[in-house]
Structure 1
Amino acid sequence: RWQGDLHEADEHLVALRTRRSVYAALEAWIRARHHYELPEIIALPIAAGLEPYLDWIVDATRS
């Protein structure tokens, strides 16, 4: 439901991985480009993971 009405639309799930310090900028970037008034943007913590992969996330998201 959206604004009291039932809607049907094609949607795609996108999973992005980043650091907490980059989240606000990423959210702003998505909102500026998304056509939905209220896009589903959520952050999920990474509780554990393969250390080399987690290190890669940090390296890949450095400024």
Structure 2
Amino acid sequence: MFVTLAALTVLTTTDSAAKAEELARGAVEARLAACAQISAPVVSVYHWQNAIETSEEWQILFKTTEACYEALEAHLLAHHDYDTPEIIATPVVRGSAAYLEWIAAQTTATAR
């Protein structure tokens, strides 16, 4: 059975594994995300300050709810060291009821 419980995945990147773990742990400890997955380094190519940059980054994928998004975004902006961090939310269209209920049970809309 599949249900939707207003779940989101939220993606950000940072320039080191240690920073990625710090952002992931902070959001989960604050109950703004039920979990966060850190992906191995990826190569990003982007425009920045009138130049094309290439850098190695770590992606962090947070599992959260729509109700927690604003607080999670604020938390990431406060703790991120990029001037303009990537923060992209994608709705979970479908998922297993037990997993989506777990996400909802593990998150709160305000940071502690």
TM-score by length of 2: 0.53
Percent identical: 38
Q: In the alignment, which residue of structure 1 is the partner of 2:51?
A: 5
Residue type of the partner of 2:65?
A: R
Where 1:40 maps in the other structure, the secondary structure is coil
After alignment, is 2-11 or 19-28 more displaced? 2-11
Q: Identify, as 1 or 2, the structure richer in strand.
A: 2
Q: In the alignment, which residue of structure 2 is the partner of 1:32?
A: 78
Where 2:74 maps in the other structure, the secondary structure is helix
How well do the aligned residues superpose, as a CA RMSD in angstroms? 1.3
Residue type of the partner of 1:14?
A: I
Where 1:14 maps in the other structure, the secondary structure is strand
Match of 2:60 among 14, 19, 22: 14
Where 1:15 maps in the other structure, the secondary structure is strand
Q: Identify, as 1 or 2, the structure richer in helix.
A: 1
- Structure 2 residues not aligned, in runs of 5+: 1-46
Q: Which has the higher contact order (CA 8 A, sep 6+)?
A: 1
Aligned length: 63
Matched, 1:59 2:108: no
Q: What is the CA-CA distance between 1:48 and the residue it aligns to?
A: 0.2
After alignment, is 25-34 or 2-11 more displaced? 2-11
- Structure 1 residues not aligned, in runs of 5+: none
TM-score by length of 1: 0.89
Cα distance in 2 for partners of 1:46, 1:62 equals: 18
Q: Is the 8 A contact 2:68 2:108 kept in 1?
A: no
Cα distance in 2 for partners of 1:36, 1:7 equals: 14
